[in-house]
Amino acid sequence: MPILASFMVPHPPLIVPDIGGGRETQVSETIRSYDQVGQQIAKLAPETIIITSPHAILYSDYFHISPGKNAKGSFAMFRAPNVKFHQDYDEDLVDAISDIAYKEGLPAGTMGDREPELDHGTMVPLYFIEKYYKDFKLVRIGLSGLPLVDHYKLGTFIARAVEQTGRRVVFVASGDLSHKLQESGPYGFTKEGPEYDDRIMDVMGRAAFGELFDFDEAFCDKAAECGHRSFVIMAGAWDGRNVRATRLSHQDVTGVGYGICTFYPDAENALLPERRFLKKYLSEKEEALQKQKDSSDVYVQLARLSLETYVREGYRIRIPEDLKKLESGGFIPDELLLERAGAFVSIHKQGKLRGCIGTISPTAQNLAKEIAQNAVSAATRDPRFDPIRPEELPWLEINVDVLGEPEDIDSISDLNVKCYGVIVSTRDGRRGLLLPDIDGVDDEEQQVAIAMSKGGIQPHEDYFLQRFEVVRHW
Yes or no: say if 320 and 336 are a contact pair by the CB < 8 Å rule.
no
First to last CA, the chain: 47
pLDDT at 20: 94
CA distance 78 to 83: 10
Evaluate the omega torsion of the peptide bond into residue 2 and state whether it is cis, within 30 degrees of 0.
no
pLDDT in tens, 367-397: 999 999 999 999 999 998 999 999 999 999 9
CA distance 213 to 200: 11
Report CA-CA distances (Å) from 180 to 176, 204, 224. Answer: 11, 20, 6
pLDDT in tens, 113-152: 988 999 999 999 999 999 999 999 999 999 999 999 999 9
pLDDT in tens, 251-284: 999 999 999 999 999 877 677 889 999 999 999 9
pLDDT at 439: 82
% the chain with pLDDT above 90? 86
Average pLDDT, the chain: 94
Residues 21, 26, 30, 36, Cα dihedral to 10°: 60
What is the strand order of the sheet 407-409 is part of?
Answer: 407-409, 464-468, 421-425, 431-434
Yes or no: say if 241 and 272 are a contact pair by the CB < 8 Å rule.
yes
Q: Is the pLDDT of residue 404 over 80?
A: yes
Amino acid in position 335: E
Sign of the four-CA dihedral 300, 303, 308, 313: positive
Q: Is the pLDDT of residue 331 over 80?
A: no
The top-level CATH class assigned to 404-474 is alpha beta
pLDDT at 178: 98
pLDDT at 245: 97
Yes or no: say if 159 and 235 are a contact pair by the CB < 8 Å rule.
no
Sign of the four-CA dihedral 284, 353, 293, 390: negative
Higher pLDDT, 13 or 216: 13
> Across residues 233-248, what is the average pLDDT?
97
Yes or no: say if 93 and 168 are a contact pair by the CB < 8 Å rule.
no
Sign of the four-CA dihedral 241, 247, 248, 254: positive
Buried b (16+ CB within 10 A) or exposed e, 21-60: eeebeebeebbebbebbbebbbebebbbbbbbbbbbbbbe
pLDDT in tens, 171-219: 999 999 999 999 988 899 999 999 999 999 999 999 999 999 999 888 9
pLDDT at 329: 61
CATH architecture for residues 296-395: 2-Layer Sandwich (3.30)
Q: Which fold has domain 5-283?
A: Protocatechuate 4,5-dioxygenase; Chain B (3.40.830)
Yes or no: say if 62 and 144 are a contact pair by the CB < 8 Å rule.
yes
> Across residues 411-434, what is the average pLDDT?
93
pLDDT in tens, 30-87: 999 999 999 999 999 999 999 999 999 999 999 999 999 999 999 999 999 999 999 9
> Across residues 283-300, what is the average pLDDT?
91
pLDDT at 328: 67
Helix (H, G, I), strand (E, B), or coil: what is residue 13?
helix
Q: What share of the chain is helix, strand, coil (3-state, %, to 5)?
A: 40, 25, 35
**Which residue ranges make up each domain of the chain?**
5-283, 296-395, 404-474
